[in-house]
Amino acid sequence: MSNSQPNFNLHLTARGYLLDLLIMNSDPSTDQNELREILLFLNNLITFDEMNLRKEEAEEI
């Protein structure tokens, strides 16, 4: 796959990293509310990107 081809599984990889981040930062010293907000924000960005990829794919057909 060349660099110009989008990686349609990238959103799944990114969500996996978000879960890893949540697991690694579950210690009591971490501000859990702030972490939840950050994870929600990043998940929304991933979802938005995924929707754009699907839209571009549909437009190519």
The answer to whether position 11 is within a domain reads no
The answer to whether position 46 is within a domain reads yes
pLDDT confidence of residue 61: 75
The answer to whether position 50 is within a domain reads yes
How far apart are the C-alpha atoms of 52 and 29, rounded to whole Å? 37
The answer to whether position 10 is within a domain reads no
The answer to whether position 47 is within a domain reads yes
The answer to whether position 38 is within a domain reads yes
Q: What is the pLDDT along the chain (61 residues), one digit of tens a residue?
A: 444 455 667 778 888 888 888 777 777 787 888 888 888 888 888 888 888 888 988 888 7
Indicate the pTM of the whole model: 0.62
How far apart are the C-alpha atoms of 9 and 13, rounded to whole Å? 7
The answer to whether position 44 is within a domain reads yes
The structural domain count of the chain equals: 1
Supply the range of the domain harboring residue 55: 29-60
Q: Angle at Cα 3 formed by Cα 18 and Cα 40, nearest 5°?
A: 20
